[in-house]
Structure 1
Amino acid sequence: MTTLRAGLIGLGAMGRNHARVLAGLDGVRLVGVVDPAGDPGRSAQGVPVLAATRDLLALGVDYAVVACPTALHEEVGLELAAAGVSALIEKPLAHSAEAARVLVAAFEANGLVAGVGHIERYNPALQNLRARLEEGELGELFQVSTRRQGPFPHRIADVGVIKDLATHDIDLTSWVTGLSYGSVSARTVSKSGRPHEDMVAIVGQLTGGVMCSHLVNWLSPLKERSTVVTGERGCFVADTLTADLTYYANGARDTEWEALRAFRGVSEGDMVRYAIAKREPLLVEHERFRDAVLGLPSDIVTLRQGLETVEVATAVLESAMTGNTMSVPLRDRIFAGR
């Protein structure tokens, strides 16, 4: 395997994990890290810590991982694209839909491999769930409901909970179902004294009429990461903290209990918790991106998919500000239907 020279931009909480994975990734050599604050936590894995992206480019890299604050993604990404360097950009792709479109155009114009770090796609529970939905195990889909809550992460200062956390749920919902968002309605609150929202409740409709709902916040002492997909044959529950996937089947047995026989809805059936292999999602994400840079068949989150997620998040913010249900722009649709 060809050894690729990789760089990392940003040594924050996520950047430190990227450095760890890159340092041990087969076929890749981490050659430098960019962070103006240096490396007080000694997380750079022994490579040079540089002050600016141009210093990293001077070392000669095949690709870079962009893990700096979201507000800087456009500037850093354009610098990499202009230098002919492929990039894996942490989610969200950019701070605005306009900036995201600029990044898509820049990398596509230069014929470069570029992806977005929507890490939940590589969670074993969601990977298994998506495969089962593709096989039609639930039959017709009715609803996707997610809950993503926990304490406030003090490292996040440039965006609110919608663009930082809810973009996980927006992307994974489209990805596991193969459906795009048609409309969204949202309400937010801000209780932490920051200029951005720290709680959001979203109700949406996907193409084909499938409903979705997302509860996301930084205000709960309970850390929860749950995805529930309900269909005509039952529901799947994915816990992405533990990477467990459980199936709850609709009951199929007749009953002599008159009160239950009169109920025309579903009844409780078998429950199955699947035994699935549990590899680290971040490692899988890096392996897929490495293979894409090498020109091998690989499944990465494209910039156009990242753009679609940012456009949905933008519609969510606008709905929260105006109190109106917002349609999601039809351009650049990736998830057109199952």
Structure 2
Amino acid sequence: MKLGIVGAGYMGQAHARILSELANKYGHTLSFVVEPDEAKGKATSAKYGLKWYKSVEELLSEEGSGIVPFIASPTSTHLDMIDAFLSNGVEYIFVEKPLGDDLKKAEEISRKYSTSSLEKVMVGHIERFNPAYIELKKALYEDALGSLITVTSRRVGPFAVRIADVGVILDLAIHDIDLSIDLAGRLPERIISFYYYRYSTNHEDSCYIMFDYGSHIHTIEANRITPYKERKTILTGTNAVAQLDFIQQSLEVYTGKWKMERIVLKKEPLAVEDEEFLKSITSGNKAPLTYFEGLRNLQIAYRVLEEGKGNKV
């Protein structure tokens, strides 16, 4: 299959770098880039030896359905591109998180296409593929922590100029929304949220969220205004406490008697994510994280926004 990048910005460049190394391993070729900015498109084309297209329409007109696009364009374009690719018979599609910024349109697409088609659309919730998180899931399966009491996630850092079309909830907090639901295995029973406009007038730049699962509570703090970048989660259980650092890819487990640092085989999460998707293409199976999971995360994120309307500052 012909793989390609749609959007030659920061994430598009990262996917291009990884796919240029992985594609051949799974019998594919990295062959195209779609980028409306001619300078960016031609620069990426020259760097990786790709064919440059200015638009998705131009790509589909020349290449047809035998392609696998990796959508890394602005969030506001995601859903229209997914719709265009699916309506033209493209089978496998990767789209960066969040799935989109229009919940109504995302839900319409979920009704427009078959389950089997949408299960081959992968949404890039990258932290699911962080080796430290994978190790945490193993620890929980082994019952190393006992029953969960609380989970606390903190995802803060400076503002990224490249992300200007969505607020911190759809940009950053949605990572932990996804992980929270994945850890619990169900949707939260109750949501409380607060969000703030410190420096931006268009989008919230700081938020605090609480998910009540009945059995345990998960709190999420996220902002784009802190000078120090931090990506951590602490899980408190009846038998132990675990501290996970997504940046350092470390996982420490504490009991009343000892501290254990779990062995984490460190690897770039984006490389793990892309490789798992390529495996699903080769095997003909559904994507590791499907459209429906991306839609569920978007639905919960919009509930967070709705619940916090009366609490925003």
Same fold (TM over 0.5): yes
Counterparts of 1:270-285 in structure 2, within 5 Å, are 270-285=258-273
2:18 is matched with 21
Are 2:222 and 1:234 equivalent residues in the alignment? Answer: no
- Identify the match of residue 246 of structure 1 among 247, 252, 270: 252
- Identify the match of residue 124 of structure 2 among 85, 99, 117: 117
Distance 1:247 1:146 in 2: 16
Aligned-residue offset at 1:180? 2.0
Counterparts of 1:158-307 in structure 2, within 5 Å, are 158-206=165-213, 208-249=214-255, 251=256, 269-295=257-283, 300-307=288-295
Task: Indicate conservation of the 8 Å contact 2:250/2:261, yes or no.
Answer: yes
Distance 1:235 1:297 in 2: 36
What is the aligned length? 302
Aligned-residue offset at 1:128? 0.4
Distance 2:37 2:81 in 1: 16
Distance 2:116 2:182 in 1: 27
Task: Indicate conservation of the 8 Å contact 1:78/1:103, yes or no.
Answer: yes
Are 2:302 and 1:314 equivalent residues in the alignment? Answer: yes
Task: Indicate conservation of the 8 Å contact 2:33/2:44, yes or no.
Answer: no
Task: Indicate conservation of the 8 Å contact 2:31/2:49, yes or no.
Answer: no
Are 2:69 and 1:59 equivalent residues in the alignment? Answer: no
Q: Which segment is superposed worse, 159-168 or 4-13?
A: 4-13
- Paired letter, 1:277: L
Any idea what SS the aligned residue of 2:44 has? coil
Aligned-residue offset at 1:78? 0.2
Q: Which segment is superposed worse, 314-323 or 164-173?
A: 314-323
Distance 2:113 2:139 in 1: 33
Distance 1:20 1:103 in 2: 30
Q: Deviations over 1:283-314 (max 9, x none)?
A: 11111111212235676111111111111100
1:256 is matched with none
Task: Indicate conservation of the 8 Å contact 2:195/2:311, yes or no.
Answer: no
Distance 1:24 1:39, change over 3 A: farther
- Paired letter, 2:81: V
Distance 1:199 1:5, change over 3 A: same
Distance 1:155 1:33, change over 3 A: same
Flag structure 2 segments of 5+ consecutive residues without an equivalent: none
Q: Which segment is superposed worse, 276-285 or 73-82?
A: 276-285
Task: Indicate conservation of the 8 Å contact 2:122/2:287, yes or no.
Answer: no
Aligned-residue offset at 1:231? 0.7
Q: Deviations over 1:258-294 (max 9, x none)?
A: xxxxxxxxxxx31111222112111111111112122
Aligned-residue offset at 1:39? 4.2
Aligned-residue offset at 1:247? 0.5
Distance 2:192 2:209 in 1: 6
Q: Tell which structure's C-alpha radius of gyration is larger.
A: 1
TM-score, normalised on structure 1? 0.84
Aligned-residue offset at 1:244? 0.5
Counterparts of 1:128-139 in structure 2, within 5 Å, are 128-139=135-146
Q: Deviations over 1:184-238 (max 9, x none)?
A: 11111112234000000111112x4310101100010010000111110111111
Task: Indicate conservation of the 8 Å contact 2:193/2:207, yes or no.
Answer: yes
Query: Identity of counterpart residues, as a percentage?
Result: 33
Moved over 4 A (4+): 296-299
- Paired letter, 1:55: E
- Paired letter, 1:238: L
Distance 2:258 2:32 in 1: 52
2:78 is matched with 73
Distance 1:77 1:193, change over 3 A: same
Aligned-residue offset at 1:89? 1.0
